[in-house]
Amino acid sequence: MDFLNAIVAIANYVLIPGIAYGSQLALGALGVTLIYGILRFSNFAHGDTMAFGTMVTILFTWWFQSLGISIAPLPTALLALPFGIVFTALLLLGTDRAVYRFYREKRAAPVILVIVSMGVMFIMNGLVRFIIGPDEQRFADGARFLIRARDFKQWTGLSEGLAIRTSQAITVVTAVAVVALLFWFLMRTRTGKSMRAYSDNEDLALLSGINPERVVMYTWLIVAALATIAGVLYGLDKSFKPFTYFQLLLPIFASAVVGGLGNPIGAIAGGFVVAFSEVTITYAWKKVLVYLLPESLEPSGLAQLLSTDYKFAVSFALLIIVLLFKPTGLFKGKTV
Amino acid sequence: MTAMKVNWKNVALFALVAVLIVATGFVQSWNTALLILNMGLISAIMSLGVNLQWGYAGLFNVGIMGLVAVGGLATVLTAMPPVKEAWAAGGMRMMLALATGAATIGGGILLYKRMRPGRRRTLALMLWLVGGFFLYRALFDPAAEAIEAVNPASTGYLGGAALPVLLAWPLGGLMAAGVAWLIGKTALGLRSDYLAIATLGIAEIIVAVMKNEDWLDRGVKNVVGIPRPLPYEVDLQRDPGFVETASSLGLDPVTASTLFVKLGYGLMFTAVLVIVLVLAELALRSPWGRMMRAIRDNEVAAEAMGKDVVARHLQVFILGSAIVGMAGAMMTTLDGQLTPGTYQPLRYTFLIWVMVIVGGSGNNWGAILGGFLIWFLWVQVEPLGKMLMDLLTAPLPDGALKAHLLESVAHMRLFTMGLILLLVLRFSPRGLIPEK
């Protein structure tokens, strides 16, 4: 019984949050990795792109709520999500036209593009704070739980409860659907194939008649969708705050680098590696150990390896380890 | 060296900044003008440090915030009085814990280097690191708890060394140099974006440590009342000699004392800026500076000529970081308090980057100009934006929209900075004062 309780506790506090967070990071890292693969720079504005998409979604959610439109038990934000994607796509295409295209035509060094993306980050950050303010916003509605801890205890008779929040279930389902769709697009469609060709070898792709501007446009469209979905899922699961989204940049970059920059499968794997490292290292294991160990060996403290305030240190440490020992990442990424 | 030709455009640019600051003095107040001047001086020193890394060597460092924060920490560790009860409660145990932590990492590196690659090395390394980590936590946790329990409302930390606060400036530089050495050892030699991501991460971690390790610097409870290198305003106002001089200048004692202190800081910062500038210019013109630029412009060729690119990069990365750390210590001295919660990457990392790029990367005068100009704009965009917004919203009826617009105007400065950065990068990529 104690053993089962320990497993349930791990599932409840480590496995489920880790899977949800990992899916969110994976979607974010996919965006970063696609930009890196096609446009060949690390986009520092990605966190703020996610914030922008989420903000638009929140505004539409509020509007729908005020009109009484609802898809309960699902959160209204899912209905607003497509509008968020459209606005983000317009913003990114506009940014590309006004800012990035100039440097692409000049074939500027990647580091210049990184600095340019820093400027874009400032503007998007200012825009988001200007429209919705710097404060925390909650916009989740509908049913809160798929499985409640109390119900789970009643069904199973275990003393440890297992809860699955709706937002966690939605995150996983959406992430699987989006990733499947993305890979189908990249592997099966003409445009997807040309994107991969362009990423592998730009000159060869150009020679075979691929229109680079078209490839870039599709990349931004996909990135807008990925960033908005990742941002909205994260916001539903936790909450929305512009600064938090900016800070997500670090674990997202870590995911992309750990998996191998420019490699979509790597980005997904990296997202889960980073998420699970973070959750396991900052989780207080006392609860689980109490079930597993005899009373005499029970830990006196929380048995927490690092306080949650240092979760960034985990992504950072992973990043450094991978950079030192396997600079191209777990799955072969590319280096410019 | 041939006779310098006076570049009137540059003189005019600096004169413009001077006029802007003096105009602030006339329009707003001289205290505001001096505040802008003092922070402008500090910003100029920071951007000189970043220019050394980016302009001379092409290293992309986005961890400036961390270096500034380390400098601030140096101020506390230098100037605050030691808390004897806290040292008695757990000071020595804490030192032992930190030494254990350092020994674990050092031993791990030694193990990695000395043992032959293979499964045995991996296993030994894991055991050593895990064992060391638990030993460290076993020593660290009770020590930190004991220290933080000592009068937590006013101390609860170890305090500093009660040394003159001015010593914190070189010490801040040294501590930042140490951090830079650690980053450089791991991330230099990799691609430029990787250095950027690594520095971004380390800066977040440094600030997280300063926010959470209360035994070190009281965390978000802040350390206030850091000793000053200049007299306090109240003491000046009580000094009959000072009051007399002030009234002979036609100033009331309160205003005179605040102006006196700010001017004092201004002079001290100017002295530091001049020293850093002279050294940076000498370095730029020396064979070392030429080598740096040669490496920046073509790493492969420089390496083929026998230059040790990674070692030179490490050198310039440490030097630039030390300058930023020193400026961070100066800033905390000026504030008289350490507030770890206020270190924000947009303000302390990316704003400095805007200064360097707008001023002109590779040119020290450009970096200084950028420091002053961007700092001025950063401060003044808010009141200017508010005026503009008042004007724009005047015809709007009172209501939620108008209130929101007026309230949100504070966030316009981020937008403005981004716009300035993009415009300069696009239309004048070499900055206002380009590299020669």
Q: What is the pLDDT of residue B260?
A: 93
- What is the average per-residue pLDDT within B199-210? 91
CA dist B46 to B205, B296, B334, B337, B370, Å? 20, 21, 15, 19, 11
Domain of B147, in residue numbers: 83-158
- Report the half-sphere exposure of A146 (CA within 13 A, side-chain side): 13
The C-alpha atoms of residue B178 and residue B67 are separated, in whole angstroms, by 10
Residue B60, token pair as written in the block: 């992309």
Nearest to A127 among B62, B353, B415 (CB): B415
Q: What is the pLDDT of residue B386?
A: 83
Assign A304 to helix, strand or coil.
Answer: strand
- What is the average per-residue pLDDT within B145-152? 92
Of B106, B136, B158, the domain-final residue: B158
Q: What is the pLDDT of residue A311?
A: 86
Please report the residues numbered 263 through 322 in chain A whose beta carbons come closer than 8 angstroms to any beta carbon of chain B. 301, 305, 307, 309-310, 312-313, 315-316, 319-320
The C-alpha atoms of residue A236 and residue B125 are separated, in whole angstroms, by 41
- CATH 2.60.40 for domain A2-325, yes or no, is no
- What is the average per-residue pLDDT within A219-225? 97
Q: What is the pLDDT of residue A334?
A: 64
Q: Give the percent of chain B with pLDDT over 70.
A: 99
Inform me whether the pLDDT recorded for B56 exceeds 60: yes
Closest CA to B197 of A293, A32, A76: A32
Q: At what angle do helices B364-393 and B8-27 cross, to 10 degrees?
A: 40
- The answer to whether residues B167 and B217 belong to one domain is yes
The C-alpha atoms of residue A112 and residue A96 are separated, in whole angstroms, by 15
| Nearest CA distance, B418 vs chain A (angstrom) | 4
- The answer to whether residues B145 and B211 belong to one domain is no
B106 is a domain residue: yes
B217-244 burial code (b ≥16 CB/10 A, e <16): bbbebebeebbeebeebeebbeeeebbe
Question: What is the dihedral sign for C-alpha B154, B157, B163, B166?
Answer: negative
Assign B428 to helix, strand or coil.
Answer: coil
Q: Are B342 and B221 in contact (CB under 8 A)?
A: no
Provide the residue type at B312 as one letter: R
- The answer to whether residues B294 and B331 belong to one domain is yes
CA dist B148 to A277, B72, B211, B220, Å? 29, 20, 14, 13
Inform me whether the pLDDT recorded for B4 exceeds 70: no
The C-alpha atoms of residue B407 and residue A195 are separated, in whole angstroms, by 44
Provide the residue type at A269 as one letter: A
Q: What is the pLDDT of residue B407?
A: 80
- B395 pLDDT band, cuts 50/70/90, is confident
pLDDT digits (tens, 9 = 90+) for B291-335: 999 999 998 899 998 889 999 999 999 999 999 999 999 999 999
Task: From chain B, pick out residues whose CB is under 8 angstroms from the CB of A126.
Answer: 411-418
* ipTM of the shown complex: 0.90
B275 is a domain residue: yes
- B1 pLDDT band, cuts 50/70/90, is very low
pLDDT digits (tens, 9 = 90+) for B236-247: 999 899 999 898
B347 is a domain residue: yes
- The answer to whether residues B53 and B172 belong to one domain is yes
The C-alpha atoms of residue A39 and residue A100 are separated, in whole angstroms, by 9
The C-alpha atoms of residue B179 and residue A198 are separated, in whole angstroms, by 40
> Are B422 and A307 a contacting pair at CB < 8 A?
no
Longest dimension (CA), chain B: 81
- The answer to whether residues B178 and B307 belong to one domain is yes
Q: Which of A189-203, A322-336, B30-44 has the highest mean pLDDT?
A: B30-44
- The answer to whether residues B165 and B143 belong to one domain is no
Phi, psi dihedral angles at B156 (to 5 degrees): 70, 20
Residue-averaged pLDDT of chain B: 92
- The answer to whether residues B143 and B255 belong to one domain is no
pLDDT digits (tens, 9 = 90+) for A40-64: 899 999 999 999 999 999 999 999 9
| Nearest CA distance, A111 vs chain B (angstrom) | 7
B7 is a domain residue: no
- The answer to whether residues B118 and B217 belong to one domain is no
Please report the residues numbered 23 through 82 in chain B whose beta carbons come closer than 8 angstroms to any beta carbon of chain A. 58, 60, 62
The C-alpha atoms of residue A264 and residue A34 are separated, in whole angstroms, by 7
Q: What is the pLDDT of residue A84?
A: 97
- The answer to whether residues B67 and B133 belong to one domain is no
Give me the number of domains chain B comprises: 2
Q: What is the pLDDT of residue A316?
A: 84
- A31 pLDDT band, cuts 50/70/90, is very high
Q: Are B357 and B425 in contact (CB under 8 A)?
A: yes
- A143 pLDDT band, cuts 50/70/90, is confident
Inform me whether the pLDDT recorded for B67 exceeds 90: yes
Q: At what angle do helices A46-67 and A212-237 cross, to 10 degrees?
A: 60
| Nearest CA distance, B71 vs chain A (angstrom) | 21
Q: Are B202 and B321 in contact (CB under 8 A)?
A: no
Of B158, B190, B224, the domain-final residue: B158
Residue A231, token pair as written in the block: 């941002």
- Pairing assessment for the beta strands B337-338 and B223-224 based on DSSP bridges: antiparallel
Of B124, B139, B158, the domain-final residue: B158
Question: What is the dihedral sign for C-alpha B56, B61, B64, B66?
Answer: negative
B350 is a domain residue: yes
pLDDT digits (tens, 9 = 90+) for A174-189: 999 999 999 999 999 9
- The answer to whether residues B198 and B341 belong to one domain is yes
Please report the residues numbered 287 through 346 in chain B whose beta carbons come closer than 8 angstroms to any beta carbon of chain A. 344-346
CATH number for the domain spanning B274: value is 1.10.3470
pLDDT digits (tens, 9 = 90+) for A235-288: 999 999 999 999 999 999 999 999 988 899 999 999 999 999 999 999 888 888
- B2 pLDDT band, cuts 50/70/90, is very low
- Which residue is closest to A131 within chain B, CA to CA? B408
> Are A120 and B422 a contacting pair at CB < 8 A?
yes
Please report the residues numbered 111 through 170 in chain A whose beta carbons come closer than 8 angstroms to any beta carbon of chain B. 111-112, 114-116, 118-127, 129-131, 133-134
The C-alpha atoms of residue A243 and residue A253 are separated, in whole angstroms, by 16
> Are A129 and B208 a contacting pair at CB < 8 A?
no
Inform me whether the pLDDT recorded for A336 exceeds 60: no
- The answer to whether residues B207 and B346 belong to one domain is yes
- A303 pLDDT band, cuts 50/70/90, is confident
Assign B82 to helix, strand or coil.
Answer: strand
The C-alpha atoms of residue B50 and residue B34 are separated, in whole angstroms, by 24
Phi, psi dihedral angles at B268 (to 5 degrees): -60, -45
For residue A73, cis peptide bond before it (omega within 30 degrees of 0): yes
Task: From chain A, pick out residues whose CB is under 8 angstroms from the CB of B62.
Answer: 44, 118
The DSSP 8-state label assigned to residue B155 in this structure reads -
Give the alpha-carbon dihedral of B301, B302, B307, B308, to 10 degrees: -90
- What is the average per-residue pLDDT within B32-51? 96
Task: From chain B, pick out residues whose CB is under 8 angstroms from the CB of A133.
Answer: 407-408, 411
SS3 content of chain B, % helix, strand, coil (to 5): 80, 0, 20
- The answer to whether residues B203 and B314 belong to one domain is yes
pLDDT digits (tens, 9 = 90+) for A79-117: 999 999 999 999 999 999 999 999 999 999 888 999 999
Q: How many CB atoms lie within 10 A of CB A157?
A: 8
Task: From chain A, pick out residues whose CB is under 8 angstroms from the CB of B422.
Answer: 99, 116, 119-120, 123
- A121 pLDDT band, cuts 50/70/90, is very high
B367 is a domain residue: yes
